[in-house]
Amino acid sequence: MTITFLGHGYVGLVTAAVFADLGNTVWVIGHTKEKIENLKKGILPIYEPGLEELVMRNVKAGRLLFTLDYAPAIPESDVVFIAVGTPPKPTGEADLSVVFEVAEEIGKHLNGYTVVITKSTVPVGTNKKVGAIIEKVKPAKAEFDIASCPEFLREGQAIGDTQHPDRVVIGADNKKAADKLVELHKPILEGNGKSKLVLTNISTAEMIKYASNAFLATKISFANAIAQLSEKVGADGPDVLSAIGLDKRIGTYFLNAGAGYGGSCFPKDVKALIAIADENGYDFKLLKDVEEINKEAMHSIAGKVKKLLGEVKGKRVGVLGLTFKPDTDDMRDAPSRTVIPQLLKEGAMVKAFDPIATQAHKAFPELKGLEMAKDAYDAAKDADVLVVMTEWNEFKQLDVKKLKSLMKTPLMVDGRNIYETDYMRSLGFTYVGVGR
């Protein structure tokens, strides 16, 4: 098939590259000349393990094409994916302005029969609005159907999640569009015998995405609430969570206490689902509490630092990790962007190291005053306390004896519980984890 993607972020670029690797001709339309020219050269706007190699292989094969122009791509395409950003408005609602802008441009360039799919995370009813926009501007002889095909990618594991998904959700209100999308996904479904196909209507597909992310966010906040309570009653939170996770009805996945969730999906999707509920007269108290617990989890890390130091002003704080999770350069709503500004505001001198987000201190105004270290040991040098914010694998294998020798005082706040309490204390660290 010939396919077009609008958008070249995590979702658009990864999915486009995977479909190109399956033998399709795939166009990716962007709106920034510099980014498109860079993509043609294999210079990616995001970091994702294995993506650079996948993109370059398909660019060289002539299957993956990048352009600023709708004209060469849309008329030839059997399927067009909308995969642009839907960031939250100040009210928490999803900003759909770019979705509607590209829908109009798609409509103007349609030729023959095309299935237009929204892969972006959008509120229920958005696809119908997209269809109405296209209907107004399309050429008279052009035919189209709309559909919803939400993504469930994890940053850092996005290629594997696209090639071997737990489920492929296809929302279509007629058989012709559904059949076309089943055909497109057939190699993925057949290549991985464990992938499940979910065929449903458009509104249900839109809702599945929000419900999925909201549930995972709830699971994380539940883990953090149990961790906070465990600290107060003298229980070991990680042991509690590990034990309940052994119940097959619950499972261990996402049941880990830490510094809170962040990134491009959970924060905005929780806010958006709360807004959707409010608009429809339902007070989603559970999700509001999920949000509040997540904020408390972030603030608690700064609180642990202050408790160890007593006085934060003038103290040196080393930070390991800035991104919201390992194997990504994504800083969106990362807990570090809450914790570090708190410490800077109270007069601490903060020096951080992240393996990928090396320019984070320049990209986010709230991190003004943050100093970047050349490596983890440099971050620890002369530090009064060391704080783990991201569970990068390389941090798990650090020479902790060396860390201690470099620090002014051996104090550590492990916001991701990557070290063993007894071991760290046996080395002479005053060690504080989450829920321990």
Catalytic sites, residue numbers: 265
Q: How many CB atoms within 10 Å of residue 15? A: 25
Sheet holding 349-353, edge to edge: 371-372, 349-353, 316-320, 385-388, 411-414, 430-432
Q: Considering only the C-alpha atoms of the chain, give the largest distance between any 2 of them, rounded to a whole number of Å.
A: 76
CA–CA dist 270, 285 (Å, integer): 12
Structure token digits, residue 146: 């709309």
The count of residues in the chain is: 436
- Which residue from 297, 309, 327, 271 is spatially nearest to 386, judged by alpha carbons? 309
- Which residue from 54, 36, 53, 56 is spatially nearest to 45, judged by alpha carbons? 36
Query: Amino acid identity, residue 352?
Result: A
Q: Which residue has the tokens 């202050």?
A: 306
Structure token digits, residue 173: 């209100």
DSSP-assigned letters across all residues of 240-271: HHHHHHTSTTT-STT---SS---SSSHHHHHH
| E-assigned strand segments in 22-149 | 25-29, 64-67, 79-82, 113-118, 143-148
Structure token digits, residue 81: 């994916």
DSSP-assigned letters across all residues of 30-56: -S-HHHHHHHHTT--SS--TTHHHHHH
- Which residue from 223, 270, 269, 261 is spatially nearest to 243, judged by alpha carbons? 223
Helix (H, G, I), strand (E, B) or coil at 113: strand
Are the C-beta atoms of residues 350 and 382 closer than 8 Å to each other? no
Are the C-beta atoms of residues 415 and 434 closer than 8 Å to each other? yes
Q: How many CB atoms within 10 Å of residue 241? A: 21
